[in-house]
Amino acid sequence: MCGIVGIVGKPNATEIIIKGLEKLEYRGYDSAGLFVANDTTSSLVKAQGRIKNLSDKLTPEVSGTIGIGHTRWATHGQPSEENAHPHTSQSQRLVLVHNGVIENFEELKSTYLAADTFIGETDTEIAVHVVEAFMNQGLDTKAAFKKALSVIRGSYAFGLIDKEDTETIYVAKNKSPLLVGLGDGFNVICSDAMAMLEQTNRFVELVDGEMVIVTADAIAIEDQEGHAIERESYEAQLDLTDIEKGTYPYYMLKEIDEQPAVMRRIIQNYANQEGEIQLDADLLNAMKDRDRIYIIGCGTSSHAGWVGKKIIETLTNIPVEIHLSSEFGYNMPLLSEKPFFIFLSQSGETADSRQVLVKINELNYPSLTITNVAGSTLSREATYTLLLHAGPEIAVASTKAYTAQIAVLAVLAKALGQQKGLAQAADFAFVHELGLVATAMESIINEKDLISELVAEYLTETRNAFYIGRGVDYYVSMEAALKLKEISYIQAEGFAAGELKHGTIALIEEGTPVLGIITDEVTGAHTRGNLKEVESRGAKTLVLASADLAKPTDQIVLPTVHPLLSALLTVVPTQLVAYFATLQRGYDVDKPRNLAKSVTVE
């Protein structure tokens, strides 16, 4: 999704902005641009496509001590140079970058900008014109910006520069992430701390509705009424090496390989030396008498929620419902009397999930966000937070966040079940079992050659593919199919194995790949039956089975682990299947078309 960086107070603003934009590339974008200035000159450069295209257009004259840059993921108007940010006001005096969506842009245009002309078709261009319209009424830049904020509806993170004052960046946010970073003799702005880590690791969070005046030596935060706000900075717990690929060809492969280490880090962060889980007592007390848990998430996070449902229900006896954020917010089901909400989000910034949390907070229900990003919007706005400790996930295709989400949900379920005095929770030797999973993951990760060969045999030519399973194996099938389709563009679906014969089996043709996941004795026998049904209609079947249930003809055999944690293992070969299928088709594994890492628009 869109990314923002900016700096004031360093002579090499252009270079810093380009480096910052490169760090945001992983989020997905289709054009980029920057504005830099100093006392005497200013430059605005934009390009469609990759940041490399923007860098190629830079000349030595494009330099300055202040600047803002942007990566754009199109919402209003096609990906093009005209629609790329920064955008300028009617007189060209003001320059603006924006993340988010302005809902009332048409109304703003007809109310304030009837005589204006526009270069592109974006809502952002309207916003910067509105600021200038208020300046034309006699307001100074700050007052005009503030007045514009009062009439703009929607989500935004703004960075604004007035060419006549090249020492100030005006900043504001509502629902879209934005941070101010503190330097020595300079300050920065960014939508993600990672973008500016090379400059500083001290950041100040901004709250919705605030406006900030950023100069080289100071930042001044104001609330909507104009009151000055004092806020402590925090140190970002990020390491630059976490966001480098190292010797890996793609982040996705690095992140798949990191999963055993992530499992062990989760144990270190949530268990003491004796292997007992240590969780916030307030959180457990808030959850223990709840009559229903609602897990809210999107995409891979939602799939992790399905596996979590099984673990939580088994260990705590509390019923769990899984809901897609984009559906739940506008189509809320009848809630139980004492609901508790869990928001699953790797980024902690997903707009679909955030709009649900806003509604849940209005209803005064308690909530927990499980996220990879400390200080993210969903983390700040929920009652409680648990962190994934997975390290930054850069590849658009989520891998280690999925397994970390399941492991942290299991931590929670184990602690909550014990808090409720339930024998099944006390008997579940979670820390030991998760340690076994980590070791078993390593053995699968070492089978890359086998998986690459199977992909060449099964998936090189195909147009579509199916994953099938039952129970937890079905939940993993949904995730496996999402992974395959989102990066290799093979049309893939994950089905409950028993459902195939109720319609979908009509799609099976000679050679259609069907991948069956089998980790449960009873349901596994049925899934084998379903695999026979599709085989007899021409399908080419591939079986991923746990060692205790495997047959000599099964192609991928996985170590047997505790049944509540089997998804942590079965998903790994499916991640590798997606990776190799994409590689073999020659696509960019880390940056699939049309997708963004962090989806900050609804």
SS3 state of residue 515: strand
Both tokens assigned to 335: 């809630």
Task: Give buried/exposed letters for 120-146 (b at 16+ CB in 10 A, else e).
Answer: bebbbbbbbbbbbbbbeeebebbebbb
532 is a catalytic site residue:
no
The minimum distance between CB 384 and ligand M6R, in angstroms, equals 17
Degrees to nearest 5, angle at CA 172 with 377 and 44: 115
Number of Cβ within 10 Å of residue 79's Cβ equals: 14
Residue choice 298, 445, 492, 583 for contact with ligand M6R (CB under 6 A): 298
Q: Does 486 bind ligand M6R (CB under 6 A)?
A: yes
| Residue 573 in tokens | 């070969």
As measured in angstroms, the least distance from the Cβ of 475 to ligand M6R is 14
Question: Which of 141/350 has CB closer to ligand M6R?
Answer: 350
Give whichever of 293 and 388 is closer to ligand M6R, judged by the CB atom.
Answer: 388
Q: Which is nearer to ligand M6R, 396 or 438 (CB)?
A: 396
Q: Which of 2, 142, 485, 540 is catalytic?
A: 2
Q: Scanning residues 581 to 600, which ones bind ligand M6R (CB under 6 A)?
A: 598-599
Distance CA 316, CA 421 (A): 9
597 classed as catalytic: yes
Q: Are 135 and 117 in contact (CB under 8 A)?
A: no
Q: Which stretch in 229-237, 298-306, 521-529, 544-552 sits in contact with ligand M6R by CB under 6 A?
A: 298-306
Q: 486: how many CB neighbours lie within 10 A of its CB? A: 20
Q: Where are the beta strands (DSSP E) in 192-269?
A: 202-205, 211-214, 219-222, 228-229, 234-235
Peptide bond into 86 cis (omega under 30): yes
Q: At its nearest, how many Å lie between ligand M6R and the CB of residue 353?
A: 6
Instruction: Quote the least distance from Cβ 344 to ligand M6R, whole Å.
Output: 7
> What is the rounded CA–CA span in Å between residue 36 and residue 414?
53
Burial category of 37 from C-beta neighbours within 10 Å (exposed 0-12, middle 13-18, buried 19 and up): buried
Smaller CB separation from ligand M6R, 143 or 595: 595
Q: At closest approach, how far in Å is the CB of 397 from ligand M6R?
A: 4
Residue numbers 329-368 binding ligand M6R by CB under 6 A: 345-347, 350, 353
CA–CA distance from 151 to each of 107, 135, 427, 436 (Å)? 10, 14, 58, 56
* Dist. CA 344–CA 296, nearest whole Å: 6
Give the CB-nearest residue to ligand M6R. 299
Find where tokens 């004092």 sit. 230
CB atoms within 10 A of CB 485: 19
Q: Which stretch binds ligand M6R (CB under 6 A): 238-246, 274-282, 296-304, 432-440?
A: 296-304
Contact flag: residue 97 with ligand M6R (CB under 6 A) = no
> How near is the Cβ of 596 to ligand M6R at its closest, in Å?
8
β-strands 367-371, 156-162 pairing: unpaired
Q: How far is the CB of 267 from ligand M6R (least distance, A)?
A: 22
Binding mask 534-553 for ligand M6R (x = CB under 6 A): --------------------
SS3 content of the chain, % helix, strand, coil (to 5): 40, 25, 35
Between 210 and 255, name the residue whose CB sits nearer to ligand M6R.
255
Find the shortest distance in angstroms from Cβ 359 to ligand M6R: 17
Q: Residues 10, 173, 485, 597: which is the catalytic one?
A: 597
Which backbone phi and psi does 490 adopt, to 5 degrees? -75, 130
For residue 532, give both structure tokens: 């026979």
Q: Give exposure, 392-430, as e/b (b: 16+ Cβ within 10 Å).
A: bbbbbbbbbbbbbbbbbbbbbbbbbbbbbebeebeebeb
Task: Pick the binder of ligand M6R from 71, 122, 300, 546 (CB under 6 A).
Answer: 300
- Of 544, 578, 575, 573, the residue nearest 459 (C-alpha): 578
Q: How many residues bind ligand M6R (CB under 6 A)?
A: 16
Q: Determine how many CB atoms are found less than 10 A away from the CB of residue 188.
A: 27
Can you give the length of the chain in residues? 602
The nearer residue to ligand M6R, 314 or 361, going by C-beta atoms, is: 361
What is the spatial distance between Cα 590 and Cα 577, in angstroms, rounded to a whole number? 15
Q: Which residue(s) pair with 222 in the sheet? A: 211, 228
Per-residue mark of binding to ligand M6R, 152-171 (x: CB under 6 A): --------------------
CB of 598 to ligand M6R, least distance (A): 6
Does 45 bind ligand M6R (CB under 6 A)? Our answer is: no
Beta carbons of 80 and 120 less than 8 angstroms apart: yes
Nearer to ligand M6R among residue 301 and residue 541 (C-beta): 301
For residue 398, the minimal CB distance to ligand M6R (Å) is 4
Q: Which of residues 380-409 bind ligand M6R (CB under 6 A)?
A: 396-398
CB closer to ligand M6R out of 144 and 394:
394
Please identify, using beta-carbon distances, which residue of 88 and 371 lies nearer to ligand M6R.
Answer: 371
Which CB sits closer to ligand M6R, 344 or 518? 344
Residue 301 found at the interface with ligand M6R (CB under 6 A): yes
Q: Which residues bind ligand M6R (CB under 6 A)?
A: 298-301, 345-347, 350, 353, 396-398, 482, 486, 598-599
Cite the active site residues.
Answer: 2, 597
